[in-house]
Amino acid sequence: MYSYILLIRQHIMAGNTVWFLIPGIIFVLLLVFTLLKKKDMKLVVLYFSMSAIAGFLEIVIFFLFESYEYYPQVWNDWYYDNTFGAYLSQRFFVSSVAIFVAAFNLGFGFILLFIAMFVGIEYAFLALKVYKLNWWHPTYTAIGLLIYFYIGKVWYRCLLDGSYRFFRMFTLGCFAFTLYTDVIAIPTLSGHYEFAVDWFDNPSRDTVIVILIYCLTRGYLIAFVCCYKRHWVYLSFLTAAIWLSYIVLIQFDIFIYKHLWDLWLFAASDLIVLFSSLYFNRVLSRPDK
């Protein structure tokens, strides 16, 4: 792991990485400011959930239909490098601004300003040749962000009012999906996991898409149990069933891992997501006065 950290640091100091790092730092600072200013744990859930909504869209347009390409030049594997660019964009860039807009209930003028900023960043990335459009167009970005920011504002109002159980489960599933991907992101992009399914002509693409589906499935199973069946028997059974699925996939040479600690991390991610989901389910259950 330490060698990979050194490799990442080396790439950050040169190449295209700095163009992703600069906006990344700015948007993370914006997120931190929002969370510290508002001091509302529901915003943490909303942040993860809005990242998930962006991620769901990416699964369709980016991973399945290859809408655009990123070149951050962090990872040696081209597809993992491309995926990392998309991860930064959806996980930190747009989601942080969506939380800022929702938390402070900003109006249409501010939303248009942020949309113009993101479209400007998109054109700047194109000019810097760190980003390439296939069939996507910046106009689609503008329209998508308008809808995205509106969803964030409505979602936050629903969370403040104390959401219904089904809506809470959907929100918690989004949270769990994003947290899963965060925990295993570096090992995955480092090539420590492989899912041999032969869906595409690129094994790295196979692995990323299977992991996304796996994270989505596990996330919503945990969300369902946390919202509807919180007894320790159901929680223990679900965790054991998920771990058993790893053993089955390993036995059939579908799930391949490089080091033993990779497998332990994959398994530990279930406990991290489970306990985090239990905590935030209680947070979401409380309406704000």
C-alpha neighbours within 13 Å on the C-beta side of residue 1: 10
Given 105, 138, 160, the domain boundary residue is 160
CB 209, CB 216: distance < 8 Å = no
Same domain, 195 and 267: yes
Q: pLDDT for 47-77, tens place per residue?
A: 999 999 999 999 999 999 999 999 998 888 9
Would strands 68-70 and 193-195 be described as parallel, antiparallel, or unpaired? unpaired
Residues 174 and 271 placed together within one structural domain of the fold: yes
SS3 readout for 173-224: HHHHHHHHHHHCHHHHHCCCEEECCCCCCCHHHHHHHHHHHHHHHHHHHHHH
- Whether residues 274 and 225 share a domain: the answer is yes
Give the domain range for residue 237. Answer: 163-289
Q: What is the pLDDT of residues 89-132, one digit of tens each?
A: 888 899 999 999 999 999 999 999 999 999 999 999 999 999 99
Distance CA 274, CA 277 (A): 5
Q: Please indicate, yes or no, whether residues 198 and 81 belong to a single structural domain of this protein.
A: no
If you average pLDDT over residues 199-223, what whole number do you get? 93
State the greatest distance between any 2 C-alpha atoms of the chain, in Å, as a whole number.
Answer: 56
Residues 57 and 189 in one domain: no
How many structural domains is the chain composed of? 2
pLDDT of residue 5 exceeding 90: no
Q: Answer yes or no: do 156 and 173 share one domain.
A: no
CB 180, CB 51: distance < 8 Å: no
pLDDT at 244: 94
pTM for the structure as a whole: 0.90
d(CA 179, CA 147): 24
The answer on 170 and 117 residing in a single domain is no
Cα(68)–Cα(134) distance, integer angstroms = 5
CB of 81 within 8 A of CB of 74? yes
| Residue 9 shares a structural domain with residue 91 | yes
Please identify, among 115, 132, 160, the residue that sits at the C-terminal boundary of a domain. Answer: 160
Boundary-marking domain end, from 110, 130, 160: 160
